[in-house]
Homo-oligomer: A and B are copies of this chain.
């Protein structure tokens, strides 16, 4: 019915560590990054870090660097339900997290990247599904509770649309009615039925005038 929390690998970065390239000399910015990643990879191996699922030492540099999760490249690919990345907007929409929860890096680590749509747009904020789910399930009590909330919000959203439509229809009808009413005013004069409200006199026709004490 609706695309809810679908696992999507759009923003899982290309696996840089499989690329073959070790030449020195001048490097383009991206190549610099690759080299840096490679260095960090070596460091992680030297630290003796192992994947929490399969004990491989082929730790994913970025997942460890930004989210402090030890997982190998293989397990990362095998378990997108844990290690795929979500944009901030997706976190809001799919996991019903708020702006302030997402803003606080102490609650949820974030990987800040240039916006892929246009480089001049605001940076893209990426979160790790595993951490987002843990946070959201805890916030709503359980996955089932989150699902309930989600469906409820969908309903509300739909109702709002219907309501808005209905209101617009009424506005329109009112306008035509008002036009008719105005033309009738030309024939029979309207008698104002003022009521005092503070310093204002109000008529049911909508007119209100200031009240002067004598």
Contact = CB atoms under 8 A, between A and B. Distances in A.
Contacts of A134: none
In this complex, the interface size class of chain A, counting residues with CB under 8 Å from chain B, is 10 to 19
B196 A112 contact: yes
Interface string A200-214: 001111100000000
A197 interface: yes
Contacts of A110: 195
A176 interface: no
A123 to B, nearest CB: 5
B105 A206 contact: yes
Which secondary structure characterizes the binding site on chain A? loop
Contact of A106 (B109, B111, B195, B206): B206
A24 interface: no
A198 interface: yes
Contacts of A195: 66, 110-112
Interface in A109-123: 109-112, 122-123
Contacts of A198: 122-123
Which of A109, A195, A202, A205: most chain B Cβ within 10 A?
A: A195
Interface in A41-82: 66
A204 B112 contact: no
A177 to B, nearest CB: 10
B197 A123 contact: yes
Contact of A109 (B109, B196, B204): B204
Given A112-B195, A195-B112, A204 B106 contact: yes
Interface in A85-119: 104-106, 109-112
A122 B200 CA distance: 12
A106 B197 contact: no
A200 to B, nearest CB: 10
Interface string A142-157: 0000000000000000
Interface of A: 66, 104-106, 109-112, 122-123, 195-198, 202-206
